[in-house]
């Protein structure tokens, strides 16, 4: 088995990484074939890092040496769909112009293009091969080009095709990462749009009621309202830290307490060690707003909201609980969190809670996995408790 063929086989296995881990942890690599596979897997993993950022000048330059090593070619180039050469690794730079044209044709036709290059190598006239980088449902993202002495054999052509397929897989993952980031931003914008207009109207009415009777109190509430809206509509980031989220909730509750007076009681129990935990932006405010509007506002005599955040080893446990009207658990089983949002429960008024519990649940699962969604406990007349877990640390997630 040649080193090139071994590289081809190894490149197709690298996505899972299981073989590399097994070789590293189970036993020492001893045979030449094992050493070749181990080397190819390591090289492929090095190429994956820049490619996961998308195809740019910088990522192409960083990935090109590793992609060249995987193909075993004399030189390797990376180009965009328009034929602009983003990177060239190795000798024969005189073929870069020919590669630009071949890459453009390969991307347009979505088929490999072979070009006889100038000069003679050890095995005859040099050949340039441009292999399109085809992204499913998106067409060509660019092309890889390799230079070899003489006519390229099946081994090199197969290796180039497999390496191109591997590179396309990494570029598709980069597209997914970018799409998820765009979706996260869109969901945050949607959640901002769902901040209750009733709350804004009531808050302004409450502030107005204090203007003549207690100007100092009115001034404080105006500042709280300004800080609340500034935070809620900030431009930066899809994540925040728990301390900032709690501070914004304090602003929200200050405005609601000014409206409800002693009818709204709030209990906080926050472990200091979890204040720096990172969580999705506006993950808690909808839970608290839902508790106030859906649980307390419709209950005669008001009620109490408890916000608790505790240290649970590798996770932070957070809950928002009210002793309000509660709702039928069957509504949750049949409609999941959408039942809470459609106003089909608690107070029975039919008025929409108009806060994004399903949105929060989706963003938690997208950020941390399906084990980190919302948990809702409720029953008619028994209040509602919404709980969530947030990992203290998750690679790639930061405020």
Mean pLDDT of 205-225: 90
CA atoms of 48 and 67, how far apart (whole Å): 10
Phi-psi region of 284 (alpha: psi -120 to 50; beta: other; left: phi over 0): alpha
Residue 181 has pLDDT above 50, yes or no: yes
The model's pTM: 0.53
* One fold for 39-191 and 194-336+354-391: no
Mean pLDDT of 321-327: 85
Per-residue b or e along 57-89, where b marks 16 or more CB atoms closer than 10 Å to that residue's CB: eebbebbbbbbbbbbbbbbbbbbbbebebbbbb
C-alpha 276, offset from chain centre:
20
Tens-digit pLDDT profile for residues 288-299:
988 888 777 767
Closest CA to 277 of 227, 311, 247: 311
Q: Alpha carbon of 107 to those of 78, 79, 145, 255: distances in Å?
A: 12, 9, 12, 59
Choices 3.40.50.10950, 3.30.450.40, 3.40.630.30, 3.30.70.120: CATH for 39-191: 3.30.450.40
> Which residue reads 């509430």 in tokens?
221
Tens-digit pLDDT profile for residues 230-268:
888 776 667 899 999 999 999 999 999 998 888 889 999
CA atoms of 10 and 48, how far apart (whole Å): 14
Mean pLDDT of 306-332: 87
Residue 328 has pLDDT above 70, yes or no: yes
Reduce the DSSP state of residue 222 to 3 states and report it.
helix
Tens-digit pLDDT profile for residues 334-373:
444 544 444 444 333 333 343 467 778 888 888 888 888 8
CA atoms of 183 and 181, how far apart (whole Å): 5
Read off the DSSP letter of residue 94: G
Q: What are the DSSP E strand ranges found in the chain?
A: 75-79, 85-89, 113-121, 124-135, 139-149, 239-241, 264-270, 278-280, 303-312, 315-322, 375-378, 384-391
Highest mean pLDDT among 43-57, 95-109, 145-159, 224-238: 95-109
Q: Which two tokens stand for residue 154?
A: 């099946």
pLDDT at position 221 is 92
pLDDT at position 285 is 87
Please tell me the class of the 194-336+354-391 domain.
alpha beta
CA atoms of 194 and 290, how far apart (whole Å): 12
Tell me the domain boundaries of the chain. 39-191, 194-336+354-391
pLDDT at position 124 is 55
pLDDT at position 14 is 42
CA atoms of 244 and 387, how far apart (whole Å): 19
Phi-psi region of 150 (alpha: psi -120 to 50; beta: other; left: phi over 0): left
Lowest mean pLDDT among 144-148, 317-321, 348-352, 366-370: 348-352
Alpha-carbon torsion, ordered 244, 247, 252, 257, to 10 deg: 170
């Amino acid at each position: 088995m040649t080193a090139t063929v071994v590289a081809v086989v190894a490149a197709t296995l690298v996505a899972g990484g299981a073989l590399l881990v097994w070789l590293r942890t189970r036993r020492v690599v001893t045979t030449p074939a094992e050493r070749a596979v181990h080397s190819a897997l390591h090289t492929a993993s090095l190429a994956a890092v820049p490619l996961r950022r998308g195809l740019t000048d910088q990522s192409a330059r960083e990935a090109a040496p590793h992609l060249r090593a995987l193909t075993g070619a004399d030189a390797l180039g990376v180009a965009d769909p328009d034929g602009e050469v983003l990177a060239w690794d190795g000798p024969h730079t005189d073929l870069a112009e020919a590669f630009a044209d071949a890459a453009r044709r390969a991307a347009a036709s979505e088929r490999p293009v072979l070009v006889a290059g100038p000069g003679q190598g050890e095995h005859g006239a040099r050949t340039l091969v441009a292999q399109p980088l085809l992204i499913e449902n998106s067409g060509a993202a660019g092309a890889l080009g390799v230079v070899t002495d003489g006519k390229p054999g099946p081994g090199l052509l197969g290796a180039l095709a497999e390496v191109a397929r591997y590179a396309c897989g990494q570029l598709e993952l980069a597209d997914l990462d970018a799409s998820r980031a765009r979706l996260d931003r869109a969901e945050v914008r949607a959640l901002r749009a769902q901040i209750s207009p009733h709350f804004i109207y009531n808050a302004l009415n409450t502030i107005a009621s204090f203007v003549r009777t207690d100007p100092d109190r009115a001034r404080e509430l105006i500042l709280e309202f300004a800080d609340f809206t500034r935070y809620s509509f900030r431009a930066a980031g899809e994540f925040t830290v728990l301390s900032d989220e709690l501070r914004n909730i304090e602003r929200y509750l200050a405005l609601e307490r000014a409206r409800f007076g002693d009818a709204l009681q709030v209990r906080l129990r926050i472990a200091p060690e979890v204040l720096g935990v990172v969580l999705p932006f506006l993950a808690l405010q909808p839970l608290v707003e839902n508790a106030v509007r859906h649980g307390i506002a419709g209950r005669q005599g008001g009620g109490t909201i408890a916000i608790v955040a505790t240290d649970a080893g590798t996770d932070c446990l957070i809950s928002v609980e009210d002793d309000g009207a509660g709702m039928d658990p069957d509504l949750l089983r049949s409609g999941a969190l959408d039942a809470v949002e459609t106003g089909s429960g608690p107070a029975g008024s039919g008025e929409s809670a108009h806060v994004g519990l399903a949105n929060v649940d989706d963003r938690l699962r997208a950020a941390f996995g399906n084990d980190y969604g919302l948990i809702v406990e409720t029953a008619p007349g028994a209040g509602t408790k919404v709980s969530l877990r947030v990992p203290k640390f998750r690679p790639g997630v930061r405020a």
